[in-house]
Structure 1
């Protein structure tokens, strides 16, 4: 490493006019080589000793700002290294020092990786630097198998199988034995989400065993006068508290667990980049940003991620420009800060979370759950079957290979489970097809003024919230949007292709009869619109009814015999709708967009051409990829229905490995049926 760094410094001194390793009068080749060796050695030592201290101090700085400071800090260390050079030679302009330091760090990283490929001990030593020193100094690691769960956010079952068939995910293909006639090590199981097919509900169910009273990604709660948003830290903390109260259990990760990059903690003692704790005051109990230090403490990691970040920004700008010039349809706006959001999700968040997971494996933790949001963010704006999204899947597969390699060097055996929380359904937006938003349509049905030009509906993807948390600006909406005025105007919210309409001045959930008396044209306007699939409203006579076009009105109790408009949404739709109807905070009117079963398309009420949140298409069909060494997820080919079922499967696997310390619970079948 030292030799390669010395040669790199000599080469850069020959190429860059503002970087010299000799005196103005000239030196011998030997003297120049000694100067380069001393400078490279000093730079390496400073990077190893001083850099981690700088990063720890700079944890007070937002993570994205730290990423931008990487080059400046590296250049400063190089300047200091040349000043400390015992040869007394060496000079570089400050702006050139940034370039020299970045190149040297990148070369050092590549060299270290190349050496590690040939030397397992070197690779192990490199990985061990990511582990928690306190854990390594603790008691001996048990020999029972640990469980590591990697969530590929938004990757549907069909998207995964297509990617494997196309050779985009060789690691997953090897696990499923679709290459070279190898024996399979994993099984692939699809599962079905509830009506609210989004990360907030699914991950809460997977980690805490309850999706109760999570009707959508965002909804209005009349009793509190607030909008709940799953990717808002204060909302995430409240949802986690409610789930723990509902189940009387701390979560899946309570026994020596780690939660990385998730919305919720799952009861883990070790949490990093977890949104539900991001709103707390910084302290020992709040380590949501600790994962940044574990990763950026290595200057090679910092430089590599910063360079990849810039490359990803350029890649997104190029891809969006091509899509615009080709007049690609469907298409949504990808300007503003979106290139930075995408780069954070696909580079920074991925690298930091994967490094944290590798450290957890080497520390010997019992159970780890981590979320990688890269695919979900890109698919929202480029489409779930786009080339952009396919490239992300390739990089995620390489991340799985890194985790697998780290597991081989861990102090205990590990079983790697890969799963998703939902899929994504393609389709253009409701606004682009009809020239108005759901809010406009609701206002028209209520006889309220409608703007001449439809405004864009804000898109609320998980990665955007992670960026805001990293910038210490966790609140997504403005304060006045959290507390709508107590007047007669409706609150209209969107969660993918699921819309929610609430009247804040009525303290209870309104019935169909009350809505008709107040706004006679509203329900017919919505139900008969070609972009609307069906409505759910409360009924004084039937308890709850499903509304469709041409006066269709079906009591929820009759949906099995007479599904009506629900027939297009596939099996399980009636059960999902009936369950959501029982939630205390279900909106006055639940609106699901139209769905075309032929091509799986839906119409998003947000600015997304790959969406999820309601019923229709691939969004409701995620996957569970588990080792064959674990018992089958279900018996006799039964279907996994809802994230709560997935929670109980994961808990059963932990119980089988660790016994009574992981209590075994049964799925709440009776509650779901009721």
Structure 2
């Protein structure tokens, strides 16, 4: 109690001195009457103002944030400075005799500086009083046990934190943990784990190499009938898009119905920043519940838990603005240097990038830290920053290297927080897919996939089609996960699919995977029927230099892959005409395409772009120079970095193939910790929990303390 009081007094003193300094620097900020005051009187006025501002920040700010959950949470970050400045104006008005005054724009600056100063002071004192923090956490855990009537018992088995670094392929991670001459690795923390406490293993995705399929498989154990990131369903006449809240909820429902299980995180789990819940009850920034309303939806509570601390809010808002300017500068540099390939990065993209790399990262990391402090059993979190930037800057650009460094610091922060946890933790890093580089299909060939399909169907094509380098718009919009997460945070309505005539083909894109459906024909069209209606279409597509292969269904031969110059691969019988169109795509391509061919919602024609094995390049049908979604190169090869004390994910010589297999491995690892920690007909182990208010205070303490923590203990393995 005494130490806590001393910390409060110290923060108050620093805030007072900061206010005095700002009053001397800023002309529109004063702490004295018009006739002037003595030094002592000015100091008392500053102390009064600092105290009032501190109380308002502690008492009123959380209420403001909770009220603002009724409006777009994304906007909250932009309003932080205004709200903080408003609180300062109220605090100044509480000073007797009207001695405190500031212009509104000056109040914003003063409030931001004071919040930063008080946060820095609290950080320093927390680091110095780390032992007191440990004792407080132990008391909270002991209090929880007493309330439940528990007097002791065996220690808790280790918990598990699954951190998904979205879009980072095995090759990118391997390069990021290697020293670069005399310079340290890009990801120093992760580099320290590889081949010491952890083992790095690649795995291979299914044909659909994207977050919707991979994360659904990892968290819910099923990727069945998920042919792409987006697809047209003839039965419902709707476009399913994996990162739309309603679509994500439907995909999750279907997976649970197929497996008979709610997911990986059903027992005492937490899902943070994901498309799907994994069966967890503790949720933050989860898209599959973002469309729900009511007390059972806690997805938006992650914003409140983080932004209720004005220091967090100010820091994140400042970083958000800095990231916008960073993107504008990097984009301008790319244009001035005429870097190729290149895509447009204007419009709302700088804001989407800042949301993914700052707001979503900060909220997710804070939520994971709170879960660790609470002793939660299984935590799965997705950090999407790299994936979003790599789509527009390229998978190996300097822009993405900066993002990887910041993600490495987030991993280090989470790992150090484990030292303060009430139980041991094992940290597993993994990715859901990689990314393959390459110019877009439209930039390389001057027309979009939709233009090519319409030409093959003898339908009108826009005049600019065929002009190479014309920067035609991408098919069906970008597929980056952060865009719909930002729309959900803004509480914007979901966008309907593009309008089509009753007989026009619906052309959709998922990275370098294209999907063509004819909505006026029920069921899946056969090769023979397509040839009757559009005799030139299949050859127009298959013979185009930007197309690698097509998947169609034949009435006579079943699933058939078509390539250039009449090449065919009959998947049901194994018959090959000419050279197999799948030969360039490596091991596993035949099995992956054959599996997708039997999906009921597979489109009439699936189009995979060309792939150059020498460069690893593909051509996205969207506006992305780093893409994923189909076959070809690094996009199909994510990674799994697992603690050495866990059992190997596969037998020697075996490959880990498919997100469903990854799900089975993660389940096995949860069971190995004195399990079961996944549903086995009994409830999971009880762990001490921390109340929301205590959790927020402890989170701020441990965030600061971790900066000066010693090397990682064994429990982080």
Q: Answer yes or no: is 1:25 the counterpart of 2:35.
A: yes
| Correspondence 1:355-370 to 2 at 5 A | 355-370=366-381
| Correspondence 1:166-185 to 2 at 5 A | 166=180, 167-176=185-194, 184-185=196-197
User: How many angstroms apart in 1 are the aligned matches of 2:592 and 2:320?
Assistant: 40
The equivalent residue for 1:258 is 270
| Correspondence 1:617-632 to 2 at 5 A | 617-632=633-648
| Correspondence 1:582-597 to 2 at 5 A | 582-597=598-613
Q: What secondary structure does 1:659 align onto?
A: coil
Q: How many residues align?
A: 652
**In the TM superposition, what is the alpha-carbon distance from 1:29 to its structure 2 partner?**
2.2
Of residues 218, 223, 238 in structure 2, which corresponds to 1:226? Answer: 238
The equivalent residue for 2:123 is 113
Of residues 440, 458, 479 in structure 2, which corresponds to 1:460? Answer: 479
Of residues 314, 329, 346 in structure 2, which corresponds to 1:335? Answer: 346
**In the TM superposition, what is the alpha-carbon distance from 1:558 to its structure 2 partner?**
5.3
Contact 2:616 2:633 in 1 (8 A): yes
Contact 1:82 1:90 in 2 (8 A): yes
Contact 2:162 2:428 in 1 (8 A): yes
Instruction: Specify whether residues 627 and 660 from structure 1 end up closer, same or farther in structure 2 by C-alpha distance, changes over 3 A only.
Output: closer
More displaced 10-residue stretch of structure 1: 426-435 or 53-62: 53-62
The equivalent residue for 2:171 is 158
Instruction: Specify whether residues 9 and 661 from structure 1 end up closer, same or farther in structure 2 by C-alpha distance, changes over 3 A only.
Output: closer
Contact 2:670 2:677 in 1 (8 A): no
The equivalent residue for 1:670 is none
The equivalent residue for 1:428 is 439
> CA-to-partner distance for each residue in 1:386-429, whole Å, 9 max, x for gaps?
11111000110111111112211111111111110000000000
Q: What secondary structure does 2:345 align onto?
A: coil
Contact 1:652 1:664 in 2 (8 A): no
User: How many angstroms apart in 1 are the aligned matches of 2:398 and 2:132?
Assistant: 36
Instruction: Specify whether residues 127 and 24 from structure 1 end up closer, same or farther in structure 2 by C-alpha distance, changes over 3 A only.
Output: farther
Contact 1:655 1:663 in 2 (8 A): no
Q: Answer yes or no: is 1:353 the counterpart of 2:355.
A: no
Unaligned stretches of 5+ in structure 2? 1-10, 466-471, 682-717
Of residues 192, 214, 218 in structure 2, which corresponds to 1:206? Answer: 218
Instruction: Specify whether residues 498 and 83 from structure 1 end up closer, same or farther in structure 2 by C-alpha distance, changes over 3 A only.
Output: same
User: How many angstroms apart in 1 are the aligned matches of 2:148 and 2:320?
Assistant: 36
The equivalent residue for 1:526 is 541
| Correspondence 1:54-133 to 2 at 5 A | 54-85=64-95, 89-121=99-131
Instruction: Specify whether residues 500 and 664 from structure 1 end up closer, same or farther in structure 2 by C-alpha distance, changes over 3 A only.
Output: farther
The equivalent residue for 1:53 is 63
User: How many angstroms apart in 2 are the aligned matches of 1:642 and 1:80?
Assistant: 57
Across the aligned residues of Structure 1 and Structure 2, the Cα RMSD in angstroms comes to 2.3
**In the TM superposition, what is the alpha-carbon distance from 1:488 to its structure 2 partner?**
2.3
User: How many angstroms apart in 2 are the aligned matches of 1:125 and 1:74?
Assistant: 33
**In the TM superposition, what is the alpha-carbon distance from 1:39 to its structure 2 partner?**
1.7
Of residues 26, 30, 45 in structure 2, which corresponds to 1:16? Answer: 26
Of residues 647, 662, 669 in structure 2, which corresponds to 1:653? Answer: 669
Instruction: Specify whether residues 314 and 84 from structure 1 end up closer, same or farther in structure 2 by C-alpha distance, changes over 3 A only.
Output: same
Contact 2:670 2:676 in 1 (8 A): no
The equivalent residue for 2:404 is 393
Contact 2:569 2:575 in 1 (8 A): no
> CA-to-partner distance for each residue in 1:317-360, whole Å, 9 max, x for gaps?
11111111211111111101111000000000000011011111
Of residues 198, 209, 213 in structure 2, which corresponds to 1:197? Answer: 209
**In the TM superposition, what is the alpha-carbon distance from 1:504 to its structure 2 partner?**
0.8
More displaced 10-residue stretch of structure 1: 4-13 or 76-85: 76-85
User: How many angstroms apart in 2 are the aligned matches of 1:437 and 1:456?
Assistant: 8
User: How many angstroms apart in 2 are the aligned matches of 1:135 and 1:638?
Assistant: 45
User: How many angstroms apart in 2 are the aligned matches of 1:222 and 1:136?
Assistant: 57
TM-score (norm 2): 0.87
The equivalent residue for 1:542 is 557
Unaligned stretches of 5+ in structure 1? 178-183, 666-674
> CA-to-partner distance for each residue in 1:461-516, whole Å, 9 max, x for gaps?
100000000000151x33564xx55x322111100000011111111111111111
> CA-to-partner distance for each residue in 1:229-268, whole Å, 9 max, x for gaps?
1011111111001100111111001001111111001111
User: How many angstroms apart in 2 are the aligned matches of 1:542 and 1:408?
Assistant: 60
Contact 1:265 1:276 in 2 (8 A): yes
User: How many angstroms apart in 2 are the aligned matches of 1:559 and 1:514?
Assistant: 23
**In the TM superposition, what is the alpha-carbon distance from 1:95 to its structure 2 partner?**
1.9
User: How many angstroms apart in 1 are the aligned matches of 2:652 and 2:399?
Assistant: 38
Instruction: Specify whether residues 663 and 74 from structure 1 end up closer, same or farther in structure 2 by C-alpha distance, changes over 3 A only.
Output: closer
**In the TM superposition, what is the alpha-carbon distance from 1:33 to its structure 2 partner?**
2.1
User: How many angstroms apart in 2 are the aligned matches of 1:499 and 1:138?
Assistant: 56
User: How many angstroms apart in 2 are the aligned matches of 1:169 and 1:87?
Assistant: 56
Q: Answer yes or no: is 1:489 the counterpart of 2:508.
A: no
User: How many angstroms apart in 2 are the aligned matches of 1:125 and 1:40?
Assistant: 30
User: How many angstroms apart in 2 are the aligned matches of 1:377 and 1:580?
Assistant: 26
User: How many angstroms apart in 1 are the aligned matches of 2:137 and 2:313?
Assistant: 16
Instruction: Specify whether residues 256 and 245 from structure 1 end up closer, same or farther in structure 2 by C-alpha distance, changes over 3 A only.
Output: same
User: How many angstroms apart in 2 are the aligned matches of 1:525 and 1:389?
Assistant: 37
Q: Answer yes or no: is 1:574 the counterpart of 2:586.
A: no
Instruction: Specify whether residues 80 and 60 from structure 1 end up closer, same or farther in structure 2 by C-alpha distance, changes over 3 A only.
Output: same
The equivalent residue for 1:407 is 418
Instruction: Specify whether residues 127 and 530 from structure 1 end up closer, same or farther in structure 2 by C-alpha distance, changes over 3 A only.
Output: farther
User: How many angstroms apart in 1 are the aligned matches of 2:370 and 2:561?
Assistant: 50
Contact 1:213 1:580 in 2 (8 A): yes
The equivalent residue for 1:672 is none
Q: What secondary structure does 2:203 align onto?
A: strand
Q: Answer yes or no: is 1:517 the counterpart of 2:525.
A: no
User: How many angstroms apart in 1 are the aligned matches of 2:415 and 2:400?
Assistant: 23
User: How many angstroms apart in 2 are the aligned matches of 1:593 and 1:569?
Assistant: 11
User: How many angstroms apart in 1 are the aligned matches of 2:488 and 2:525?
Assistant: 36
